């Protein structure tokens, strides 16, 4: 297989894993900036996958995106965690509850809790975490 064919196959694989291939296959020659914000975020996921990383770091991947677009971004994240670690800094606590296996709570630069997500949200161990989850600090 030629280098060009390998690159094309890798790009197709990454777009498929980001649940994006069917949506953009007719527009592969166009700039990504012509896509919706949510589709651009999935394109960022596909780009990140092209290097086959062991860890994906996603800082507010669904910020400024409507609920349908959010679901379209969260699904590949859920699928990808089967074969790599994904660290997400969400903008929404509801999103953290939906997608995270484990949650970490930092306060003033200190890690105060790291446990299964349900445990952190349902029975926080520290007063700072309890206040944050109750919306009394932030």
Query: Contact at 8 Å (CB) between 116 and 101?
Result: yes
Q: Which domain holds residue 64?
A: 3-92
Same domain, 86 and 113: no
Which residue is listed with tokens 């980001």? 18
61: domain CATH number is 3.40.50.300
Task: Compute how many other C-beta atoms are within 10 angstroms of the C-beta atom of residue 2.
Answer: 7
Same domain, 20 and 82: yes
Residue 137 pLDDT level (bands cut at 50, 70, 90): confident
- Express each pLDDT in 3-22 by its tens digit: 989 988 999 999 999 999 98
Q: Is the pLDDT of residue 27 over 80?
A: no
Per cent of the chain over pLDDT 70 is 100
Same domain, 49 and 12: yes
CA distance 76 to 54: 15
- Express each pLDDT in 43-76 by its tens digit: 999 999 999 999 999 999 998 889 998 998 999 9
Same domain, 86 and 105: no
Number of domains composing the chain: 2
Q: E-strand spans in the chain?
A: 55-59, 85-89, 102-107, 110-116
Q: Is the pTM of this model over 0.85?
A: no
Tell me the DSSP string of 70-90. HHHHHHHHHHHTTSSEEEEE-
Same domain, 13 and 75: yes
The dihedral built from the CA positions of residue 99, 102, 103 and 106, taken in this order, carries a sign that is: negative
Q: Identify the helix (H) or strand (E) that includes residue 91.
A: none
Same domain, 85 and 62: yes
């Amino acid at each position: 297989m030629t280098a060009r064919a390998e690159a094309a196959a890798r790009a197709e694989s990454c777009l498929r894993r980001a649940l994006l291939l069917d949506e953009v296959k007719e527009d592969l020659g166009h700039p990504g900036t012509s896509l919706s914000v949510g589709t651009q975020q999935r394109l960022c996921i596909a780009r990140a996958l092209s290097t086959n990383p062991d860890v994906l770091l996603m800082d507010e991947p669904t910020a400024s995106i409507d609920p349908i677009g959010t679901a379209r971004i969260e699904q590949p994240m859920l699928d990808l965690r089967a074969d790599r670690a994904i660290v997400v800094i969400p903008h929404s606590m509801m999103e953290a509850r939906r997608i995270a296996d484990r949650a970490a709570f930092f306060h003033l630069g200190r890690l105060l809790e790291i446990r299964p997500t349900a445990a952190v949200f349902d029975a926080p161990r520290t007063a700072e975490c309890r206040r944050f989850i109750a919306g009394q600090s932030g």
